[in-house]
Amino acid sequence: MLGYYFQQLIHTLPLFWKGLWMTFAVSILSLVGGTIIGFFAGLGRTSRSKTLRYILSIYVDLIRGTPFIVQLFIIFFILPEWGVHLEAFHAAVIGLTICTGAYVCEIVKSGIEAIAVGQREAAISTGLSRFQQLRHIIVPQAMRVILPPLVGQYVLMIKDSSVVSVIGVSDITRAGWLTVQRIPQGLIVFGLVGILYFVICYPLIHLVNALERKLTVQKTRLT
């Protein structure tokens, strides 16, 4: 019987490859968009403008304090009531981008604030503009702190992308749900789903470990 199920699973592999590609596409677009939004939002969270910091703190708290699936439902089901109609793929990318941006924002903010006060004061004393301080002194040092948790957040976001299947995006998880209706062996089907997510995430997990080791070596040399 198991042999029969495995044969049926092989016949559904094109569906899983399509789901793998869809998951990859949604994740990459969301990572790029979320990183851009989060980076500039993180800089804004460390700016001298109280108004800007307050607005960005509301954005971060709102996104981090509500379930992603609720945010996704608002974008896909509620916005059409206001005349904004989005396809499932576009809604998924927008939702993941906004969500990722909030978490990246806090990572960038924490990285900048981790820079020693003396370094920031030295940057100010050089007479450089705010942009020049960030570009030449603060951000290059902060990146050593930012990169490991940033890549770790990417891994979490890719795994969270499985939620977009609830609005009809043909990702890996949806391929699993469609397949398990024909092959009533959940362990086999979702075992394959897990393997495909691992294939996407493992390179990033390896990158996180490498960055953390490199950062540890650099700290050891400095001390």
Q: For residues 158 and 207, is the Cβ–Cβ distance under 8 A?
A: no
Q: Which fold, 2-222?
A: MetI-like fold (1.10.3720)
pLDDT in tens, 21-44: 999 999 999 999 999 999 999 999
DSSP E strands, the chain: none
Token output for 142 = 């902060």
Q: CA 23 → CA 19, 70, 139, 170, 209, distances in Å?
A: 6, 20, 31, 8, 23
> CB neighbours (10 Å) of residue 153?
21
Angle (nearest 5°) at CA 95 between 147 and 81: 165
Domains of the chain: which residue ranges? 2-222
> In this predicted structure, what is the pLDDT of residue 203?
85
User: Tokens 């994740």 — which residue?
Assistant: 27
User: Tokens 């939702």 — which residue?
Assistant: 95
> In this predicted structure, what is the pLDDT of residue 215?
66
> In this predicted structure, what is the pLDDT of residue 220?
60
> In this predicted structure, what is the pLDDT of residue 71?
94
> In this predicted structure, what is the pLDDT of residue 136?
75
- What angle separates helix 13-45 from helix 2-11, to the nearest 10 degrees? 60
Mean pLDDT per 10-residue segment, the chain (223 residues):
67 85 92 94 90 94 94 92 90 95 94 77 71 78 84 88 88 86 79 89 82 67 54
